Amino acid sequence: MHTRRIGDVEVSAIGLGGMPMSIEGRPDEERSLATLRAALDAGVTLIDTADAYHRDADEVGHNETLIAKALAGHDRGRDVLVATKGGHLRPGDGSWTLDGSPAHLKRACEESLKRLGVEAIGLYQFHRPDPRVPYAESVGALRDLLDEGKIRMAGVSNANPEQIREANDVLGGRLVSVQNQFSPAFRSSEPELRLCDELGIAFLPWSPLGGISRAAELGSAYAPFARIAEAHGVSPQRVCLAWMLAKSPVVVPIPGASRPETIRDSATAPELRLSAAELAELDAV
């Protein structure tokens, strides 16, 4: 597995997004555990989760608990950087709400620590800006958690360029990652990607294949991805991830998966080399 860096930690160039294993439409636990084991066997050393990745109101942190179980039972579990998030909530009716207050973020971090069974969270991210709370106050909670040793690295998610710069200032230059949506269907995070490249901050595209319901349709929706995939004898999804990796050495995609075969395919993307002409064609989509 090719590697990249988040802060001072070397991780696999492709991570795994855990959300599909815990929200609506999720598989049974055994298939989820098999998916996580397949990721570890393939050399994946970055797994992204959040306390809000659950379905019912009484199972906050479902995905964190699932990941902790898989890591504890695998000989490569200790090699994995688990990135989790706080500040987004799911009341249990399918909706998403926000709480970016420092008190909530610190309390959420404590609960995530317990579920993950660790003394310090490898990467803790502010999940989504809360318009009711000044951004600096929310990120200030992560600064405090860093200083207290509760988290080893801090990141932000769903942030614009101004918020990225503000977060880095509040953290005293210690912002290591930005997790934003980015895919062939969602290109509006290009400015954030360029800023991360400039600052040397890891950029973690979420839903890089278009999301749970659209990933399988990537090739049919975007003909160049299908044509180039056929030319290389690989899947359009693998082409998509290779295209992202070629954009900058700070890019570490985190495709979601709920089947072993899906993450196995994604994990091979760093081995695919696309020509300058092919990359230009995909950029033009």
- Classify residue 4 by burial, with Cβ atoms within 10 Å: 0-12, 13-18, 19+: buried
Catalytic residue IDs: 53
Q: Under 8 Å CB-to-CB from 94, ≥6 apart: which residues?
A: 24
Q: Which residue do the tokens 């959300």 mark?
A: 19
Q: Could you tell me whether strands 97-98 and 88-89 are parallel, antiparallel, or unpaired per DSSP bridges?
A: antiparallel
Q: Could you give the CA distance from residue 198 to residue 166 in angstroms, rounded to a whole number?
A: 15
- Classify residue 43 by burial, with Cβ atoms within 10 Å: 0-12, 13-18, 19+: middle
Q: Under 8 Å CB-to-CB from 258, ≥6 apart: which residues?
A: 20, 21, 26, 27, 31, 32, 35
Question: What residues form DSSP beta bridges with 26?
Answer: none
Provide the sign of the torsion angle of the four alpha carbons 215, 243, 256, 91, taken in this order: negative
Provide the sign of the torsion angle of the four alpha carbons 22, 26, 29, 33, taken in this order: negative
